[in-house]
Chains A and B, each alone.
Chain A
Amino acid sequence: MHEMSIALSIVEAVDAKARAEGAASISGIDLVIGKLAGIEPESLKFCFSAAAKGTLAEEALLNVEEPEGIGECGECGKIFPVSFYYAECPDCRSLRIKIVSGEEFLIQSITIEE
């Protein structure tokens, strides 16, 4: 449950960017939170409203894109969806899986009102 400090980091980053752009407010924030990123989007949204109070992001809507986890087998090279780190290759049963997607945690863009 580190979503509060995460929410504060997001608010700080977008507020600074919006001010630099001369915005009056931020109406939307696009986030990318991979399914393996260790962040609960619902919990983050809950914290966000409190964290954004008194900032340009106060009224902003959070739009969260959640890329699926994708693993690559270190033995046979198969690419397949994974739901967590301890994935098993569906073809060769290897446990040597490299996570190639799903760990993203980005502020993609913001929409500002001028």
Chain B
Amino acid sequence: MCDTCGCSADGGAVLRKPGESDYHVHVSESGGHGDHHHEPGHDHQHSHHHETKSRTIALEQDVLQKNNFLAERNRGYFEARNIFALNFLSSPGSGKTSLLEKIIPSLQRHIPVAVIEGDQQTTNDADRIHALGVPVIQINTGSGCHLDALMVHTAVRELELQDNSLLCIENVGNLVCPAMFDLGEALKVVIISVTEGDDKPLKYPTMFHEADICILNKIDLLPYVDFDALKCRENALRVNHTLEWFEVSAKTGEGLPVLQEWIENKLKAR
């Protein structure tokens, strides 16, 4: 099970908390929690009944405040150094890494590029990007289902980013959770492929609502699949009518010059 998001998986689920290495909760089917946590200094003497007094305190605090503050800090850092950060989001297998492999070599002719790869396990994607000769770092989220601002903040410290550069952040393949976590990026790029359903924007509207750009990938396969690209575009624009739309094939290169030109214009316009 995902220790960050609670997604179910095989095996015994374990909950952990950031910054509390002794916190360790096994979640079992029966609902019993094997809690090994003992908080230092916690008062167990509750049997002495002191007179308790209730008090309500207003917080009015955004639940994701901590992530949002850190994301803004990342954003400020990127702006100060004129780094254009793109957050690439999609379900697994839509071709995020293949797309990066295709567009980075041409973009690199105009601007230095660095990449942050997010996956639960392996450095397979980072290895592929490394082969292009660009600085890359892999975040393995373990069982986590999304990148958060802290992971990016930490990764950025490890990557030697250049001023006036492009940073591509490839999120964990997942169309749900990553939509909620701001990383400090300039734009969110959502990718779908024609081997998925053309109703995907309606089924996962939060992601498409949050995105700035949508790239339909694998269009070379359109003749072989029941995918209506026009309908998919309509669905995406219903959820988000300011969404920029591109149709490409990372495999054949079709549509990539238009996408690249758009990114280059964005870089110039900063």
Task: Spot the interface stretch: B62-70, B102-110, B212-220.
Answer: B62-70
Cβ of B199 to closest chain A Cβ, rounded Å: 11
Query: B269 interface residue, CB < 8 Å from A?
Result: no
B63 contacts A53, C-beta separation under 8 Å: no
Total interface residues in chain B, CB < 8 Å: 53
In the assembled complex, the Cα of A95 lies from the Cα of B229 at a distance in Å of 20
A107 close to B59 (CB less than 8 A)? yes
The A-contacting residues of B in range 42-76, CB under 8 angstroms, are 42-43, 52-67
Q: Complex formed: what's the CA distance from A106 to B209 in Å?
A: 20
Query: Is the beta-carbon distance between B2 and A109 smaller than 8 angstroms?
Result: no
Q: Evaluate contact between B205 and A85: CB separation under 8 angstroms.
A: yes
Residues of A near B237 (CB, < 8 A) are 95
Q: Which of A5, A8, A84, A107: most chain B Cβ within 10 A?
A: A5
Contact A38 B37 (CB under 8 A): no
User: Which residues from chain A contact B176 at a C-beta distance below 8 Å?
Assistant: 1-2
Task: Please determine whether A50 and B27 come into contact, CB atoms closer than 8 angstroms.
Answer: yes
Q: A54-B23, A96-B241, A109-B56 are in contact. Are A4 and B63 (CB under 8 A)?
A: no
- How many A residues face the partner with a CB closer than 8 A? 43
Assuming the A-B contacts A2-B5, A5-B4, A12-B66, are A107 and B61 also in contact, with contact meaning beta carbons closer than 8 angstroms in the complex? Answer: yes
Does B15 lie at the interface of the complex (its beta carbon under 8 Å from any beta carbon of A)?
A: yes
A interface secondary structure, majority: mixed
- Interfacial chain A residues near B53, Cβ < 8 Å: 113-114
Expressed in whole angstroms, the Cα–Cα distance for A4 and B177 within the complex equals 11
Bound: A27/B54 CA distance, A: 8
Q: Does A24 interact with chain B (Cβ within 8 Å)?
A: yes
B35 at the interface (CB under 8 A from A): yes
A54 CA to B40 CA, complexed, in Å? 10
Q: A24–B6 contact, CB under 8 A?
A: no
Known: A54-B37, A114-B55. 16 other contacts (CB 8 A): A2-B145, A4-B4, A6-B63, A9-B64, A12-B66, A13-B63, A38-B179, A50-B27, A55-B39, A84-B205, A86-B202, A105-B64, A110-B56, A111-B57, A112-B54, A114-B54
